[in-house]
Structure 1
Amino acid sequence: MPSFDVTRSRFRLTDDQVFVLAQLATGQPVPESMAPAEARLRDAGLTNGAGELSALLLPLMRTLVQPSVIVSLEAGGRQGTLHHGLLIGDDHVVCHETWPGEEEAEYRLVEPRTVVWTLADLIALRQSDRFDRSTGATGATGAGSEKADEVVETTIGVLEAGLAALEKAASTPGTDERALVVEALREAGAAEDTATRLSQLIVEVRSNWRMTAAWQGRQDGVPGVAARAVAAWDCGPLGHWLRELPAEPMAEGGAEGGSPFRLRRVAPKRIWQELTGLLPDAAELVREQAAPEA
């Protein structure tokens, strides 16, 4: 059932309900197959019998229907893959977050000046993880910068063998995950030092994520969709690792078993810089708006 929190301008909606709201907001007919979703929205008070949207939804829907920039996040972990994101409009910014095992996602308005902080929050990025309760201040632990620039290189095929071994171990209680993963990596052709280090990362990984920002722009003078992307692993106590290969943005199915795979350990500050660099600057957006008509 869709729901909303007036105090914080946030809504819980399924994909079907968002589709119905977008159809109504743009004056398009709602397909018969979406009648159950439309009825739930009406029962929740978000629409009325005439198909009009509640005034509470207007800032949200204006942004969802016509965003200037779309940031999408695919985050994989032991609970499966979650999809989050940010939609940046002319006047508002909307963040949407999913939850493991739930159909509904939370949509909320966020302060435009906090866009980078919101993106960082979506990947649980912290500049420091030690909190002084007496002063309320935070301080760096040093873990994020230890062994910075360490590199692990292999192939996609070797990596997939290690991930498959982890999945198998997770479904077999009492299994030594790391032993199973390191053996799979060796059998797939990884050198001993690579198998040892990569097995540690695979077992400790909290999430491997890929974030993409896209907007209408110009490439080589031709109007079209411009995009930038960054991918990384959050390995908990073993730090943050940028995925340098396969390079982003990467097309679907663009990497094969023999394709190179490379991770580089970086300090949290570098991840913050990467998130900032994803977003188009004012000049890029101006060029889009000032593009000559065809």
Structure 2
Amino acid sequence: MPSFDISRSRFRLADEHVIVLSELASGNTAPDEFVAARKELLDCGLINGEGKLSPLLLPLMKTVLTPGVIISLEVAGRQGKMHHGLFIGDDHVVAHEAWPGTAEAEYSCVEPKMLVWKLADMVNLQQSSSGRDTAASVVETTIGTVEAGLAVLEGERPVHSADVEREAIRRALATGGGPGEPAPALLADLISELRSSWRLTSAWRAHAEGLDGTETRGIAVWDCGPLGYWLRELPTEPVPEARVTREATFRLVRVEARTVWTRITGLLPDASELRRAAGQPGTP
């Protein structure tokens, strides 16, 4: 059931609700298969009987329908995969954040100056330097080997202890081909301590040499808790899944939290890039 919090300008909406609101905001009729979603929006007061949106929704829907920049965050962890993100418009920034096991996501308006802070919060970036040191700062193997190790975390059978899980991961890595020493033990530890792996991708319209297109940037990081943050250098983001094979090289490099912060900041286009995207004159 959709709901909203006026005091913090936030809304809980499922994909079906967003589809209905988008159609109504565009002056269209919601498709017949979304009758139930439309009734829920009506019952909670976000639309009226004529299909008009509540004024509370106008900044959110204007930004969702006509964003200048879209940032997508894909997170994978022990509770499955979730999708978060930001829509950046001319006047407003809208964040959407999923919750494990629920169909609805929270949509909220974000102060534009707090945009990077919001992204850092979405990935749970911690500045603490209390992580344990590791013997190596680079791990290189293949995607197939990593997938074999990660499959242990996704198994349905219960894990009786961390030691049992780590040993199962080591066996899976060996079956998958395994990296050279001393990486197998470290990679097993990284997978065992993995809190989440995430990919941040930004996209906006680009205009160069008279042609329209899309500019994209991305980063991928493993948050391994006490073992710190590991930037995935290979495959390089953004990369289409169709180009990723089990034999492709997979490389992790340990980085500090400040490096992750810098890379997140670097995903955002600067003012000149946005002017060029809009076809406006500016500094070349």
Q: TM-score, normalised on structure 1?
A: 0.90
Q: How does 1:35-50 map to 2 (within 5 A)?
A: 35-50=35-50
Q: Deviations over 1:68-91 (max 9, x none)?
A: 100010000000001000111100
Is the 8 Å Cα contact of residues 73 and 85 (structure 2) preserved in structure 1?
Answer: yes
Q: Deviations over 1:14-45 (max 9, x none)?
A: 00000100000111221111111011101100
Is the 8 Å Cα contact of residues 148 and 267 (structure 1) preserved in structure 2?
Answer: no
Is the 8 Å Cα contact of residues 216 and 225 (structure 1) preserved in structure 2?
Answer: yes
- Offset at 1:149? 7.9
Counterpart selection for 1:164 from 127, 146, 151: 151
Is the 8 Å Cα contact of residues 74 and 211 (structure 1) preserved in structure 2?
Answer: yes
- Offset at 1:148? 10
Q: 1:143: which partner in 2?
A: 131
Q: Secondary structure at the match of 1:278?
A: coil
Q: Does 2:166 align with 1:178?
A: yes
Q: 1:91: which partner in 2?
A: 91
Q: Does 2:189 align with 1:188?
A: no
Is the 8 Å Cα contact of residues 148 and 265 (structure 1) preserved in structure 2?
Answer: no
Q: 2:28: which partner in 1?
A: 28
The AA in structure 1 aligned to 2:157 is S
Is the 8 Å Cα contact of residues 4 and 12 (structure 1) preserved in structure 2?
Answer: yes
Q: Secondary structure at the match of 1:16?
A: helix
The AA in structure 1 aligned to 2:107 is Y
Q: How does 1:120-139 map to 2 (within 5 A)?
A: 120-128=120-128
Q: Deviations over 1:90-139 (max 9, x none)?
A: 000101100000011000011000100000000000223xxxxxxxxxxx
- Offset at 1:192? 3.9
Counterpart selection for 1:246 from 235, 257, 263: 235
Q: Deviations over 1:258-285 (max 9, x none)?
A: 1000000000000000000001111111
Q: 2:61: which partner in 1?
A: 61
- Offset at 1:220? 6.0
Farther-moved stretch of structure 1 (95-104 vs 245-254): 245-254
Does the C-alpha gap of structure 1 residues 148 and 95 become closer, same or farther in structure 2, counting only changes over 3 Å?
A: farther
The AA in structure 1 aligned to 2:153 is L
**Unmatched runs of 5 consecutive residues or more in structure 1:** 129-140
Q: CA RMSD in A?
A: 1.7
Q: Secondary structure at the match of 1:164?
A: helix
Distance in 1 (CA, whole Å) between partners of 2:136 and 2:199 is 20
Is the 8 Å Cα contact of residues 75 and 207 (structure 1) preserved in structure 2?
Answer: yes
Q: Deviations over 1:141-185 (max 9, x none)?
A: 4538x56981000001111111123333x6234260000111111
The percent of aligned pairs where both chains have the same amino acid is 53
Q: Secondary structure at the match of 1:265?
A: strand
Is the 8 Å Cα contact of residues 201 and 218 (structure 2) preserved in structure 1?
Answer: yes
Is the 8 Å Cα contact of residues 165 and 184 (structure 1) preserved in structure 2?
Answer: yes
Q: 2:262: which partner in 1?
A: 273
Aligned residues: 278
The AA in structure 1 aligned to 2:275 is V
Q: 1:284: which partner in 2?
A: 273
The AA in structure 2 aligned to 1:119 is L
Q: How does 1:191-202 map to 2 (within 5 A)?
A: 191-202=180-191
- Offset at 1:186? 1.6
Q: 2:8: which partner in 1?
A: 8
Counterpart selection for 1:230 from 216, 219, 222: 219
